[in-house]
Structure 1
Amino acid sequence: MLLVKILIVKLGSIGDVIHTLPSLVAIRRKFQEARISWVVEKKASEILHGNRLLDDLIIINTAGIRRLKDFSSLRSIFELCKIKPDVALDFQGLLKSALVAKLSGAERRYGFSKNALREPESRFLLTDLVEIPNGKIHVIRKNLLLAEKALGVSVPEVFEFPIETDSSHQKEAEEIISKVGENFAILNPAGGWKTKLWDAENFGALADRLWEELGLKSVVTTAKDESFLAQRVLQNSKSRMIMLANPSLKGFYELVKRASIYVGGDTGPTHLAIAANTPVVGIFGPTEWWRNGSFRSEDICVERTDINCRTNCHRRVCNNWICMDISVDRVFDAVKRRLKVASRKIT
C-alpha cells in the first residue's frame, strides 16, 4: 500500500503528545515524502508548534464538536476532510479520538485492540485493530508498536523527541538562570489530578535539604493557574532558597535542559524533563512508572511498594489516599543517588 497522506490522532494531554513523538520520528523516517498531519487539542498543541516533521498541525476542540456549536472545531474537521488522509492512526484509544479519525475520511483507521484501549467501544469506529502484548510495556513503546504494525516502521532502540524552540524560549530560561545561578534543581509540585500530588509542604522541606546538604537552589515551576502550590512550597521552606517561575512549556523545556536534577510527579513537565535527558526523580502514586515514567534505567521512581491498592488504580479521587504518603527522606535519598549516577558537578 503506497501511503502519501498519514494522519496522527493524539489529542492530548501534554505527556501523551510527548510519548507519541518517537512514533512521529519513526513514521517520517520511513515515509520521507508523505504528507503527515497531526490533530491535537489546543491545551497540548504548544509542544508541536514548529515541528519540522509535520506538514499540518490541526488544532481541534472535541467538546465543541460534541455540542455542534463551536465553528472553529467544525472548521478543523473540514481541514481534515480536505487533506483526505489515506490512513489514520489513533494513538489515544478514546471514543473522541476514534471519532476524529472517522470524520477525517481516512479509509484505513488503525488503533489498539480491545484489551489495550482506554475506551473499548471506540474500536467500532476503527477499521484495523493492533494487538499489544500483555505485560509491562512503556506507553512510548506501545505507540511505536502501533506504528510498526500499521505502517511497517522500524521500532528504534533510542527514542527521539523533536521539540522545536526559538530564541524567546531560550530567553525565558536564561532570565531564570541569571537569577538562580547555574547549579539548580527544578521542583514541580503540580500534577493535574489531586491524587498525583506530593504535599507542597514536603517540597518545601526537600528544597531546604537540597540547599543545606548539596548547595542546590530550587526553581519551583508551575502553570500560572497552579501558582498557589508553588507559594505553599515557598511558605514551607525555612531556607527560602527557592525561586518561583511560570515559564511557557517550551521555556520550561529550555530551562530543564540546564537543571542539575528534576523532581516531580506524573505530569507534563516531568515527561518534558525526561525528553530533555535531564536526571529525573519521579514521585508516583495512582499511576505506573513502568508505563508513564522514564524509560531510562538510571532515573529513579519513589513509590509505595508496600500497599496493594496501586495496581490499575488511576483514581482521581480516593478515600484512602495513602500512595503519595512518601517521606522527604526517601525522595532526598533518591536525589542523591540520581545525582551520583549523573556525575554532574555541584559546587
Structure 2
Amino acid sequence: MPELNGITVHPDCRHFRGDIPCRPNKEHGYQCANCPVYAPIEQRILIIKLGAIGDVIRTTPLLRRLRQEFPAAKITWLTLTPAILPAGEIDEVLKLDLPAVLHLQQREFDLLFNLDKDKEACALHDSIRAHQKFGYRLHPEYGVAWPSNALADHKFLTGVFNELSLQNQKPYVQEIFELCGFEFTGEEYVFDTHQDKGYDWSGLPTTGLRIGLNTGCGDRWTTRLWSDEKWVTLIGELQQAGYTPVLLGGLAEDERNQRLHAATGAAYLGTFPLEQFINLMYQMDAIVTQVTMAMHISIALRKPTILMNNIFNPYEFDLYGRGQLVQPDRQCVCFYRGTCKLGISCMEELPAEKVFAAVQASVPL
C-alpha cells in the first residue's frame, strides 16, 4: 500500500473518501496503518438509474443480489434523485451533474449496469470504462438507445413495441434482474422507513386498522384517476366496517383530499416533504393506490398494497404476496395512454365495492 510522508494510506478501502476523513476515522480515530475495519475493494460496480423516483425505488432489489454475489464490492449509484436511495446500503451515491460525469469518466469499473434508455444514460454507458457492461448503450450509427448485449433484448423490445409489452408476463423487477444477468428469487426492495426521524403523528387516529388512501396519480396518465364519488363511497364502506381511512397525497392532491375530508371526516394531515411522507405511509396498515410513486413506496415499505390498475400490463407489478391488484370491470383499451379513447376512463368502471373487498381480503379485521 502507498505511503505519503511515511503514513500508510489505503485508497482501495470501501470507507476511504480521499477528499475528507472516512467515517471510521471521524468516529473512532482509526488510521489506515492499523484500522480494524479496513475493507479492501474486490469489485467496483456502477449502477446508472436516473429517474423517475418510482423507477429508482423499484430497482433497489438489485442491491440485495449484488451484495450477495459481491460482498466486498464498492457500489456506486448515479441518479437524478439521490435522496430517495438508502445511503447506508450504497457506498457512493452521485447525482447526475457535470462534476459527477467528469469524475466517473476518469474511473474504471468491473461491472456497469445502465438501466435507463435516456440518451444521456446510454452515452455514459459508452464513455465510462468497465470490464463488463449491461443494460443499454447508444446505437453507434443512429444515436438511439440499444441493448448493450442480448440479456437486454427482452426488456428493450417490450419498451418499443406495445404489442410485445401487452404480451409480457414478467414483473419489472424480474426483467431488471435478467437484464443484469441474474435470476430473480423474490429479493425485496432496499428502502428507508425514516422511522428514526421522530416525526410527530399524534394527529393520526389510534383506533382501527389505518388504510392509507393515495388519491392521485400525477398528471402524465390521468386515465388512472378515480372520481371523488368513488372515493367517498369507498371511505364510507371502510368506516362502516371499522377501518380507519387516512387520506394521502402531495400538493396536486391537496384540494381533492380537503374535499374528501370535508365530505367524509376521513383523517387528512396535509402534505409533507418526501421523507416525512414516506414515514407517514409507514404508519399505515395497508395502502390503496393507483400506479404512481406511492405504489412503489408502499411495496418498498412491505405494506399490503391494493393496487388500482387500468392502462398498464398487470403482470408488470409484483406485490410480493401482500395485497391485491384490482382492475375495472370493463376491459381497458387505452394501453399507456394519458387520455381515454372513449371519452370516459374505464377507471370509473372500477366499483368501490371491489376495492373494499380487496382491502378486507388483504387486511381482515
Partner residue of 1:315 out of 337, 352, 361: 337
Q: In 2, are the aligned partners of 1:189 and 1:199 still within 8 Å (CA)?
A: no
For 2:65 and 2:245, locate their aligned partners in 1 and report how far apart those are by CA, in whole Å: 36
Partner residue of 1:190 out of 206, 212, 216: 216
Q: Deviations over 1:149-181 (max 9, x none)?
A: 2xxx5x353322222344554x23xx2355322
1:64 corresponds to:
none
**2:195 counterpart of 1:162:** no
My pick for the range that moved more, 136-145 or 11-20, is 11-20
For 2:308 and 2:48, locate their aligned partners in 1 and report how far apart those are by CA, in whole Å: 29
**2:83 counterpart of 1:46:** yes
SS at match of 1:186: strand
Say which structure is richer in helix. 1
- State the AA in 2 paired with 1:121: V
- State the AA in 1 paired with 2:85: L
1:130 corresponds to:
152
The structure with higher relative contact order (CA 8 Å, sep 6+) is 1
For the pair shown, which has the larger CA radius of gyration, 1 or 2? 2
When residues 309 and 293 of structure 1 are mapped into structure 2, their CA distance, relative to the original with a 3 A threshold, is farther
Aligned-pair CA distance for 1:139: 0.3
After TM superposition, the score normalised by the length of structure 2 is 0.74
1:111 corresponds to:
135
Gaps of 5+ in 2: 1-40, 156-166
Partner residue of 1:87 out of 89, 111, 120: 111
For 1:328 and 1:334, locate their aligned partners in 2 and report how far apart those are by CA, in whole Å: 10
Aligned-pair CA distance for 1:3: 7.0
SS at match of 2:93: strand
When residues 261 and 164 of structure 1 are mapped into structure 2, their CA distance, relative to the original with a 3 A threshold, is closer
For 2:67 and 2:234, locate their aligned partners in 1 and report how far apart those are by CA, in whole Å: 42
Partner residue of 1:229 out of 256, 275, 279: 256
After TM superposition, the score normalised by the length of structure 1 is 0.77
For 2:260 and 2:120, locate their aligned partners in 1 and report how far apart those are by CA, in whole Å: 37
**2:171 counterpart of 1:145:** no
Partner residue of 1:57 out of 73, 93, 101: 93
Over the aligned positions, Cα root-mean-square deviation in angstroms equals 2.9
SS at match of 1:109: strand
Q: In 2, are the aligned partners of 1:218 and 1:243 still within 8 Å (CA)?
A: no
Partner residue of 2:204 out of 173, 176, 179: 179
Q: In 1, are the aligned partners of 2:235 and 2:266 still within 8 Å (CA)?
A: yes
1:324 corresponds to:
347
2:33 corresponds to:
none
- State the AA in 2 paired with 1:142: E
**2:300 counterpart of 1:290:** no
Q: In 1, are the aligned partners of 2:328 and 2:346 still within 8 Å (CA)?
A: yes
When residues 100 and 233 of structure 1 are mapped into structure 2, their CA distance, relative to the original with a 3 A threshold, is farther
SS at match of 1:306: coil
2:232 corresponds to:
204
